[in-house]
Structure 1
């Protein structure tokens, strides 16, 4: 019975350690996530800057996985070369060692104070960032408390014969230790927590230094496995280059570490007699050595990865999302970035529909109409996938700015999908009616329709740019486009009335159809403007609730 209770205690303290790590990560992501992503994106221009950015971002986030997901997003979109992205991962691996170094000192006495400060900051009605920083303090306190309790629990097992026998058997096989720690790290999704657990075991003599160092090698290997297995949902080999490259550097590092483990172990133990400190120092030394070994070799290494994992030439199904990575849901800012990239594919699909509509109006080919209507299914499926992905995010993990961006992405994709519905259900049927009835537009009417279609295409490109930049100047310019379409509709209506007076039946029917098409285009433009311009103008306080002038009487 006592043994079972001790197992429950051990599992509970490990769970508390994991929860503390999770609170630190989510608190930092909510408070500083957008700034960290921007800093990372700016530093990816050269290898040394990328390495330092990866180190700094990961030291703050305490998650090399989160840093890797951000970097993978930049690499997959072509915004950064593979070599700087690999440099980020080398820096991220070094960054994970900093919290381990701090916690290797005896700082458990400050755990209650950290938890108290964190709870007070979280419970007070203050700014969202202060609440998020409170989560960080609480998480750090819980981590220290869990480590202290693990150390106390190890005392009761220190002289247990069965435990000594088990750990003694593990100590004789470093390769077994590596595999054991790699599997544990993969299951726990946190190399920091596993290394801290190894420190607890080593500090009480439960595992000898040689076995502890082998376990640290396994923890570093295990943390590189998750991004490979839980990477992008698509089967594009090129998207796997970064996580596989990171895993290969870890495998090579672990191989060298195992080959020279015994002499390295003797040297570290001689210099650092404290076993817990020795584990932390070995963890840092391993990651620094791997970074020093691979940083000069990143260019040929990246070339080898690009050759072994080529970008697939065959086009994929355009209705299948390619950026909605399920693993990114653990990092909200990364998940929102992935959804934003997928939203741009919705804009591209609508652009193809507009090009098809232009071809249908400029020719008498019915196949153009059929092909263009089929593309509406792409819009519907992408929009549905993005909505399902965003709705599945935990709202508790999102700060105020994240919620705003989530709503903007939903507004953008839903309006573009509705614009596609207007093309599918109104504009293209009107184009088909023209062919069925054999109506011919006047030269100026035909030119006006083509001109407005091209204007819609330009407005769509401006909306996509505005969606990414959120520049108020582009928003004002795009909103002014509604005036042009409204004036075109007014002029067409007056011209239609004039043709009604003239009484030519064929001209009247063509004019009515021309007017219907203009109204369809006006509706499409309204959805494009609402998709990107209105959210920005509303945030800037430049959007009126109504066009009606309010007269004070």
Structure 2
């Protein structure tokens, strides 16, 4: 068999291992993610329970990196302290290593059982929980099958004349082997898959014990780099836990490599076979890091905070002074006071427009810092809304003409509607963003296209409404109300398209169904509130009767 065919078979087996690992992880997250997150959140206050829960989650999610990112998000939102979070991550690393041990046993009999049971569960029902259980079982079966495929694909390498030369070189240059293993793990984004690959190759006699342990230490370095890189753009509070993991596990792998090369301990103590020695070295290393991490937790936490602060220096932001146009001296001049109030309402309009633009971008690129910023904008709208209402109430205490009284009521009504729009964005749509982010959901291409088109129409109508509020232009007001009717038709079309995808069984449509429909509903409600800003103008000109436009 040619070397190209051997490498192609080996690459295919490794690809199947990575795919199966991801398949199990996805199934667990979709079926039990909320329950497992709740369990983790409730146990993080107790260090021992945090370690145990972290280990259990790593086994369930098939990934210590996933647990690290989850705990980092909790730390960023203040649910857990940094030190408790780091202990939970230590437990997750041990759990990940124990899972490798479990999968290193001869589990070939489970392959047909898992594939048959998983396929049956997935195809026999439409219930989400059972289908995800089926996904998990099929993934486990494929993982075990992929390990067998790796061993079979690597068998011809025993007769290779080139392989002993490569192995001999890396055995004589352990630092390079260590770094290549780290790079391989980072590319895999899975320490489990990387160690299982080493175990499968060692089982065919292709990797000696000494080199295998060096490679395992490199795997641990590569695994510790993944989470910090994935969170490099996150808020500082989120990055502390991944950086702490890098300090402990990454630095620990360097120390362990130095000790291994210096003292050359007898590896026979780790097991009678090379695969056992590799797996046990992986477990031992992570257990030592866990035990060392308990007394060092405070020091590592402070060091990780300092590193995060150095990498993202906080420059004090000088916020522009919120100079209010609501001058008390103008209250005895109603026309001037109403002009002042209009300026403040326009400022709310500008803020609402920013919020409308930001919210849809957050659906695509959720980010904790930007979510907090959007919520802060709503707080600002609430403050301005309250100040304007009080100011206009004071205006009405003076003698007003009929037109001034109508304008006063119009501004109050617009202000209330704008405040309600802000509440919908923050209390409804941001909830959808967080849900999508936590569950790692993705819209279908058609679904996302429909949502963005619907949002673009609402945003265009919002700008029309803001113009009507200032100009009180008859034609613009008419166009705004007519666009409301057109948007109703777009809503029906979007909903119909969504249900067609559900009937077709599109997985992502099923997973995002509630978010899709709720977002359409929220945007429609926002559009209705903004369109109603035009009603006073149309009513004043006799173009509005009840809830319908007169023929013009």
TM-score range, shorter chain: 0.5 to 0.7
The answer to whether the 8 Å contact 2:220/2:250 transfers is: no
Task: Work out the CA distance in 2 between the residues paired with 1:460 and 1:134.
Answer: 37
Which residue is equivalent to 1:274?
273
Shift of 1:458: 12
Deviates more, 1:244-253 or 1:255-264: 255-264
| TM-score (norm. length: structure 2) | 0.63
- 1:51 matched to 2:27: no
Which residue is equivalent to 2:340?
364
Aligned pairs (5 A) from 1:230-379 = 230-231=230-231, 233-234=233-234, 236-261=235-260, 266-310=265-309, 312=314, 314-315=316-317, 364=340, 368-379=344-355
The answer to whether the 8 Å contact 1:47/1:83 transfers is: no
Structure 2 vs 1, CA of residues 438 and 308 (structure 1 numbering), >3 Å: closer, same or farther? Answer: farther
Which SS does the other structure have where 1:224 is aligned? Answer: helix
Shift of 1:237: 4.1
The answer to whether the 8 Å contact 2:59/2:95 transfers is: yes
Which residue is equivalent to 2:84?
84
Task: Work out the CA distance in 2 between the residues paired with 1:209 and 1:361.
Answer: 84
Shift of 1:184: 0.5
- 1:68 matched to 2:44: no
Counting matched residue pairs gives 406
Which residue is equivalent to 2:105?
105
Structure 2 vs 1, CA of residues 454 and 362 (structure 1 numbering), >3 Å: closer, same or farther? Answer: farther
Which residue is equivalent to 1:3?
3
Task: Work out the CA distance in 2 between the residues paired with 1:356 and 1:279.
Answer: 71
Which SS does the other structure have where 1:136 is aligned? Answer: helix
Which SS does the other structure have where 1:65 is aligned? Answer: helix
Which residue is equivalent to 2:93?
93
Which SS does the other structure have where 1:273 is aligned? Answer: coil
Shift of 1:163: 0.4
The answer to whether the 8 Å contact 2:24/2:137 transfers is: yes
Shift of 1:268: 3.5
| TM-score (norm. length: structure 1) | 0.63
Task: Work out the CA distance in 2 between the residues paired with 1:465 and 1:101.
Answer: 44
Structure 2 vs 1, CA of residues 103 and 375 (structure 1 numbering), >3 Å: closer, same or farther? Answer: same
Unaligned runs of 5+ in 1: 319-351, 391-408, 469-530, 539-553
Which SS does the other structure have where 2:231 is aligned? Answer: coil
Q: CA RMSD in A?
A: 4.6
Which residue is equivalent to 1:165?
165
Aligned pairs (5 A) from 1:103-502 = 103-125=103-125, 127-231=127-231, 233-234=233-234, 236-261=235-260, 266-310=265-309, 312=314, 314-315=316-317, 364=340, 368-389=344-365, 463=427
- 1:274-301 deviations in Å (ceiling 9; x for gaps): 1111111111111110111112211232
Which SS does the other structure have where 1:314 is aligned? Answer: coil
The answer to whether the 8 Å contact 1:232/1:239 transfers is: no
Task: Work out the CA distance in 1 between the residues paired with 2:119 and 2:326.
Answer: 58
Structure 2 vs 1, CA of residues 112 and 299 (structure 1 numbering), >3 Å: closer, same or farther? Answer: same
The answer to whether the 8 Å contact 2:356/2:425 transfers is: no
Which SS does the other structure have where 2:109 is aligned? Answer: helix
Which residue is equivalent to 1:487?
none
Structure 2 vs 1, CA of residues 135 and 201 (structure 1 numbering), >3 Å: closer, same or farther? Answer: same
Task: Work out the CA distance in 2 between the residues paired with 1:18 and 1:60.
Answer: 16
Which SS does the other structure have where 2:162 is aligned? Answer: helix
Structure 2 vs 1, CA of residues 169 and 118 (structure 1 numbering), >3 Å: closer, same or farther? Answer: same
Shift of 1:250: 1.6
Task: Work out the CA distance in 1 between the residues paired with 2:10 and 2:74.
Answer: 40
Task: Work out the CA distance in 2 between the residues paired with 1:45 and 1:307.
Answer: 23
Structure 2 vs 1, CA of residues 15 and 457 (structure 1 numbering), >3 Å: closer, same or farther? Answer: closer
The answer to whether the 8 Å contact 1:171/1:207 transfers is: no
Task: Work out the CA distance in 1 between the residues paired with 2:272 and 2:27.
Answer: 35
Shift of 1:101: 0.8
The answer to whether the 8 Å contact 2:50/2:88 transfers is: yes
Task: Work out the CA distance in 1 between the residues paired with 2:41 and 2:318.
Answer: 28
Unaligned runs of 5+ in 2: 329-335, 433-513, 522-552
Task: Work out the CA distance in 1 between the residues paired with 2:327 and 2:198.
Answer: 66
Shift of 1:132: 1.0
Structure 2 vs 1, CA of residues 466 and 22 (structure 1 numbering), >3 Å: closer, same or farther? Answer: closer
Structure 2 vs 1, CA of residues 437 and 375 (structure 1 numbering), >3 Å: closer, same or farther? Answer: farther
The answer to whether the 8 Å contact 2:352/2:418 transfers is: no
- 1:302-347 deviations in Å (ceiling 9; x for gaps): 12322342373534999xxxxxxxxxxxxxxxxxxxxxxxxxxxxx
Task: Work out the CA distance in 2 between the residues paired with 1:356 and 1:63.
Answer: 55
Task: Work out the CA distance in 1 between the residues paired with 2:263 and 2:115.
Answer: 38
Task: Work out the CA distance in 2 between the residues paired with 1:4 and 1:356.
Answer: 75
- 1:346-377 deviations in Å (ceiling 9; x for gaps): xxxxxx9xx99999989936653443332123
- 1:372-408 deviations in Å (ceiling 9; x for gaps): 3321232022212123348xxxxxxxxxxxxxxxxxx
Structure 2 vs 1, CA of residues 367 and 209 (structure 1 numbering), >3 Å: closer, same or farther? Answer: same
Task: Give the 4+ runs in structure 1 shifted more than 6 A.
Answer: 355-363, 433-440, 448-462
Task: Work out the CA distance in 2 between the residues paired with 1:173 and 1:19.
Answer: 32
Deviates more, 1:44-53 or 1:263-272: 263-272
Task: Work out the CA distance in 1 between the residues paired with 2:230 and 2:205.
Answer: 36
The answer to whether the 8 Å contact 2:247/2:304 transfers is: no
